[in-house]
Structure 1
Amino acid sequence: MIKRLLGLKPSRAEKAADRPDVILHIGSPKSGSSAIQRFCLNNRRQLLQRGYYYPEHNLDKNNVSGGHTRVANPLGKNSVEKARAVFARALEDARAKHACLLLSAEAFYFQHEALLALTNGLKVQVVCFIRNPVEYFLANHNQGIKRHMGTRRLNELLPALVSRPANHLTGKPLLAWAEGVGDENCVFLPYKAPVSGGELIEAQFLRALGWADAEVEAATRDLPGMTNRSYVKSALELKRLLNTVLDELPLRSVREVDWCLQGFSDRTLNETGYSIADLPESVAATLADKLLSQMEGVVERFPQLQDIAQLPPAEAPGQGATSNLDLQAPLSALMAEVPNVIEQIREVATDQRNNGRQDYAFCKLLDLLGIDFEEPKGLAGLALKQREVLSGDKLETADCLREMALLLERQNLLNDAQFAIDQALKHRPTGQGIQTIKARIDSALNPE
């Protein structure tokens, strides 16, 4: 401490004495974790030379990883002893190398209770980058489409978001981590993507570990290209449409689609992913009102996060329409790289079309794939006469079922109409009107 006050450089032994037993990089999600993990994995030797032991983990073909999921995944499944065994081996290896154990996984962000129990008795430091909660919400929505088969548009998610707390989006887990390890052992920093003018996340991470500027500059001078970039808009919209059928394909095929679209997005530098600037002003305002106010307690405790607790200025609001996206570009990439998967998609889509599927996103996919289909007909509502019947004082079950059958018939849902009229006939076997309707529906389903 005296040397620091005098401006003298501490010795290697003094640095080691100050170093924690374990450093946990906990994300947060969608805040550059893949880039940090790729860097650490590719620079394990250099990290070890500086006193940090980073255990190996896998990368996929696009250099994306979940980090140290061998600890995080068992904790997520409540297999604590399995996680404890993996952690203990890693800690033993670190100690054998006289190094601090450095672990990274976005899943850790939500696992404070389990990890605090796992590291009980150890000196722990927690490093976390956190982004603007509105950006985080957008990134979550994109990730739902990208990796979790989502098909819903953003506006479909807003009512649910506005109606409940959003602790994970607004940094509330940071408070739990700080309570567990102490504020002095927390390095919580705002995340700003490099495409928005932020510093390289790898450089920020090394500074969080205490590296000097010269060391950081040397270590990050020749970094490879962007890691796990958000899907560009065309790739994301194509994936949303593909998700209408991908759940019927083998998991390997689904992963190949993701790998291909990720590679396409990483290469397509003239197109961006969705951002706050793409939100209609009213939607952005709704999200900001809901989310930013929930960050007050976090910012009060960690003032360095103030910048992300406000809505950044949108240079071009409301540019998020998908009608002018060129979906043929990412589709062409899929056809060139995974033609067998495209053929599987076409087969599943054709089969679902033949079985009567007509929802809008699915029909858009059929059109994109060049598969012929009948355009959905507008759905008819209740006729005035039906409203009068259904509001009558003498209404019976057979009447309700008959009117349901008529409505379904007008909507061309003939199998459902047949089912409803059959039920009506059970309740009124001698009803001539019901018999006439049944004969007409049966004839439409089984023309001679």
Structure 2
Amino acid sequence: MSDMIKLYLHIGTPKTGTSTLQHFLTVKRQELLKEGFLYPLAGTIDFDPGILMSHEKLSIAIKHELNIPVSYKLYKQEEWRNTLKTEWNRLHDEINKHSGRNVVISAESFSDFELEGIKLIKKNLSNSDVKIVVYIRQQDEFYQSWYNQKVKIGIYGKDIHQFITEDRPDYIYYYNFLQSWRKVFGKENIILRVFEKQQLKNGLIGDFLEAISFKENKDYLKNIDFINESPSIQAIKFMRIFNNLIMNKMYLSYPVRQKINHLLRIKLSKKNESFSTKLFNNIIGLLFKDTQDVVLTHQEKIDILKEFEENNQKVAQEYFGRQDGRLFLKSQSK
């Protein structure tokens, strides 16, 4: 085992800073390579050239093999689908040429898989000593962030109170979710981290570097921004109303809605310092003061945490040795 490449498979979960980590791994790829850590090019989809690469193509290849539906736009092209057959082999070739001893792969869509898919992942990585890196987030905060994201990208226009009744992703039942990975890879090979300020060591990137046993150098943390930061809650309110209008009244196609929402996100970004953006945000702030329809109520947060309480306690006890069952610290201090 000691002669095997150590491969860190980062699987998310969603809304735990995955894009920020992938941005870091992409822009610092050459520096990490010099330290013996490979972030492979094989299997990646370049969502933002030179800025953010994710190994979604490896995940899609497994979904394709298992006949699991894929929503990625290029999947509709037969020529692109045909490349999936060799994607894992391309990864193996790149790893074999790597002179270092460590490899990092990252795609949060790996968290979609149940037992059959996880077994296929292990089969494809059988020549490596695999460690599964997982970040989890307090479920009420996950829902608020997930809702904001869906509104932000233009695919949801209803209020948040209806949103939380419509779906319960399997991966936020963290204990059950981890059990599947544990059965295949073993508990000793799961590196579990909590996406919570109080529990991240030296911020998200510093925490991730510790998780993959990278000797931290503070120079690596310079000039790295968080990706996917949300607009203000007033802007989310505006975008929800806008989505509702264009989805229910104007019947615009999804690609057109995406382009419109992308322009809106740029205009409503907190980082956009232009005068027109500041003016636009100030107007929105005045017009949309009532944000109750896009923010979870205190009681909803309590109810959500109650639903997951037993599940979370098991994770705290079995993975962190916390006999009091406290997985998330913030909820205890409210």
TM-score relative to the length of structure 2: 0.73
The answer as to 2:220 corresponding to 1:219 is yes
Alignment partner of 2:230: what SS?
A: coil
Shift, 1:234, TM fit:
2.4
- Normalized per residue, the structure richer in strand is 2
Cα contact 2:6–2:129 (8 A) shared by 1 = yes
**CA-to-aligned-CA distance 1:240-285 (integer Å, 9 cap, x gap):** 122224453344433333333443334169999x9xxx53222121
Which AA in structure 2 matches 1:174? L
Cα contact 1:90–1:101 (8 A) shared by 2 = no
Cα contact 1:44–1:54 (8 A) shared by 2 = yes
The answer as to 2:281 corresponding to 1:280 is no
- In structure 2, distance between residues paired with 1:265 and 1:201: 21
More RCO (CA 8 Å, sep 6+): 2
Which AA in structure 1 matches 2:263? C
| Residue 205 (structure 2) aligns with | 202
| Residue 178 (structure 2) aligns with | 174
Give matches, 1:19-38, under 5 Å. 20-38=5-23
Inter-CA distance 63–312: structure 2 relative to 1 (3 Å threshold)? farther
**Which residue, out of 256, 274, 289, partners 2:306?**
289
**CA-to-aligned-CA distance 1:362-383 (integer Å, 9 cap, x gap):** xxxxxxxxxxxxxxxxxxxxxx
Greater Rg over alpha carbons, structure: 1
Identical aligned pairs, as a percentage? Answer: 18
| Residue 320 (structure 2) aligns with | 303
The answer for unaligned runs of 5 or more in structure 1 is 1-15, 316-448
Alignment partner of 1:229: what SS?
A: coil
Which AA in structure 1 matches 2:153? R
| Residue 38 (structure 2) aligns with | 53
Give matches, 1:2-401, under 5 Å. 17=2, 20-56=5-41, 57=44, 58-60=46-48, 63=51, 67-78=54-65, 83=84, 85-99=86-100, 100-111=102-113, 112-147=118-153, 149-160=155-166, 167-171=170-174, 172-192=176-196, 199-212=202-215, 215-220=216-221, 222-247=222-247, 248-263=251-266, 264-267=268-271, 279-303=296-320, 308-309=327-328, 312=331
**CA-to-aligned-CA distance 1:200-233 (integer Å, 9 cap, x gap):** 2111111111123xx332211x223321113321
- In structure 1, distance between residues paired with 2:85 and 2:217: 33
Cα contact 1:126–1:187 (8 A) shared by 2 = yes
Shift, 1:238, TM fit:
2.1
Cα contact 1:64–1:227 (8 A) shared by 2 = no
Alignment partner of 1:312: what SS?
A: helix
- In structure 1, distance between residues paired with 2:321 and 2:264: 36
What is the RMSD of the two structures over their aligned residues, measured on CA atoms? 3.6
Alignment partner of 1:59: what SS?
A: strand
Cα contact 2:201–2:207 (8 A) shared by 1 = no
Inter-CA distance 155–35: structure 2 relative to 1 (3 Å threshold)? same
Shift, 1:127, TM fit:
0.9
Shift, 1:105, TM fit:
0.5
Which AA in structure 1 matches 2:319? F
**CA-to-aligned-CA distance 1:106-162 (integer Å, 9 cap, x gap):** 10112234312322353211111111122112222222322361122121134456x
- In structure 2, distance between residues paired with 1:197 and 1:102: 19
| Residue 77 (structure 2) aligns with | none
Inter-CA distance 198–152: structure 2 relative to 1 (3 Å threshold)? farther
Which AA in structure 2 matches 1:217? K
Equivalenced residues, count? 290
Cα contact 2:131–2:190 (8 A) shared by 1 = yes
| Residue 331 (structure 1) aligns with | none
